[in-house]
Amino acid sequence: MLEHVDRVQFAVADRAAAAQTFIDVFGAEDVRDDEVRVLGAKRRVVHAGTSEFELLEPSGVGPVQAYLNQWGEGLFAAGFSTADVSALAARLTSKGVRFTDERGQLFIAPDQTPGLRMVISQDAARPMIGRMRYLYEATNLVDDHKAAAGFYTDRFGLDASRFVPIASELYGYTGQLTLFNPPERLDRIELSQIIDRDRAMGRFMTRRGGETLYMCYIEAPDIKAIIERLEARDMRYAGRDKDDPNPAGIFIHPSTFHGVLMGCSRTNLAWTWS
């Protein structure tokens, strides 16, 4: 019942400044300003590629302020679209998953999932704008990837026959990709079960105290164009093939991207491990 990874939410100190980052780097456009009462946050929504990014600034006591107090700016939640929000809400209720419905979006706290804070929205077609194509992945660090896969399959109606096993000695994990709609799209939750706590992902999971959201991934046709914008703003990134006219991919460093680690891969590259 999940269609796309259609948005992510950032917890930020200044939503206007965060929006300007997206405008400068990705050619994003402002969509709207509003407030999310359940999160205690003022929200600026920007559109890049076919995805939306919700930039959450505290409006008072609530989950966003608590996140900033504990962790500073960072990746607050992963967002997914569904063809029928009401039907998914009914399914979640029948499975005992608690959520808050605010203006047609379902807000799910991380204690209701394997550590992944989620927001569910109505699926909607959007034009592709700016320098990226779309979000396609949210990475969920988990204790047991098989149990987590079973959870998402049961609660969200995913088809486990579409899932793909993954493993990395370099990053110290094993797991699977819960592909929603292959081969049409890359959209998925990456379930990464940490096998080496001394590597970066393992250290992050230890600091967060268990299962958690780790990072997000976008696809773009021209990685070099994004690199040029990052360098113009003195923003840190790491990657391979930096001298290639169109590098395969990069990671934008959280220290200069509002606390968020974001992967950027060249169009269709991610199918090689999907």
- Give percent above pLDDT 90 in the chain: 95
As a whole number of angstroms, the distance between CA 200 and CA 33 comes to: 35
Q: Secondary structure of the chain: what % helix, strand, coil (to 5)? A: 30, 35, 35
CB 136 within 8 Å of CB 266: no
What pLDDT digit, counting tens, does each position of 83-140 carry?
999 999 999 999 999 999 999 999 999 999 999 999 999 999 999 999 999 999 999 9
pLDDT higher than 90, residue 246: no
What tokens were used for 247?
A: 């590098």
Among 220, 259, 261, which Cα is nearest to 28's? 220
Residues 6+ apart with CB under 8 A from 112: 97, 98, 99
Q: Is residue 240 very low, low, confident or very high in pLDDT (cuts 50, 70, 90)?
A: low
What pLDDT digit, counting tens, does each position of 183-235 carry?
999 999 999 999 999 999 999 999 999 999 999 999 999 999 999 999 999 99
CB 49 within 8 Å of CB 132: yes
If you search the block for the tokens 């804070």, which residue do you land on?
A: 117
- Given this model, what pLDDT does residue 104 score? 96
pLDDT higher than 70, residue 145: yes
